[in-house]
Structure 1
Amino acid sequence: MNHKKVRCLMRAHDLQQRVRRRYVTATDSDHESPIFPNLAPGHRAEWARPALSSRI
């Protein structure tokens, strides 16, 4: 049964899909504590560079 048939059957029985939530906030950014700067600006490139050079 393909998606077109499922859509047709759901429409015939007045059923709707559940709406997915796009984004859930995991942290509370509205606080009084200070926000510290990122001290490692290129941290992804630093750990990837040795891994790439060892493959060559």
Structure 2
Amino acid sequence: MRGPRPAMSWAGAVTGLAVLGTALVILVGASGLWNSVARDWQFRSAAAGVTDVAR
């Protein structure tokens, strides 16, 4: 004989994991985009410095 059902069902647990996974993917994607923008800005800044020195 089985005991009382747990308060959270399997569907609720799976939904919770899906939400956490989605949040993680969004966070990692935003972090990667920010790193790409920052790297591009650093490259442009360095290139501007090189052209100033070359003049």
Q: Into which bin does the TM-score normalised by the smaller protein fall? A: 0.3 to 0.5
Q: Which has the higher contact order (CA 8 A, sep 6+)?
A: 1
Q: TM-score, normalised by structure 2?
A: 0.33
Q: TM-score, normalised by structure 1?
A: 0.32
Structure number having the greater helix percentage: 2
